[in-house]
Amino acid sequence: MNTLALRMFGLLALAAPAAALAAPAVDAAARGASQGKGLAVIGAGLALIGGGIGIGLVGKGAVESIARQPEASGKIQINMILAAALIEGATLFAVFAGFGAPA
C-alpha cells in the first residue's frame, strides 16, 4: 500500500508543472499587468527615497552654511527652500510618471 501511495505522489509531483504550463494565455497577460504595477510601486518608492535623501542633504548643507556664516542665514534659507521645492516637485513627477505609464 505504501508503494502505491508513493507512486501516486510521484505522478502528481511530475504532473503539476505540466499543468502549470498549460495555463491559459489570459492568465499570463494578467500576471504581466500585475507585475508591471508592482514594478511601478517599487519605482515610486525608490523615487520617494531619493527625494527624501536629496532634501535631507540640502537641509544639512544649509544648516552647516548658517553655522559658518550666521549673517547670511536669510539668503541661505531662501535658497534651501527653493531647492527643496524643486526636489520635491521632481520626486512627485517621478511618482506620477511611474503610475501613469502603461503596464
Predicted pLDDT at 86: 95
For residues 58 and 79, the answer to whether their CB atoms sit within 8 Å is no
Q: Which CATH class is domain 38-103?
A: mainly alpha
DSSP 8-state assignment for residue 72: G
| Contacts of 5 by beta carbon, 8 Å cutoff, 6+ apart | none
Predicted pLDDT at 101: 64
Predicted pLDDT at 97: 83
Residue the block writes with cell 505540466: 18
Local mean pLDDT, 10-residue blocks, the chain (103 residues): 53 50 54 72 89 95 95 95 94 85 61
Question: How far, in Å, CA of 12 to CA of 34, rounded?
Answer: 29
Predicted pLDDT at 40: 82
pTM over 0.75: no
Question: How far, in Å, CA of 87 to CA of 9, rounded?
Answer: 58
Q: Give residue limits of the domains in the chain.
A: 38-103
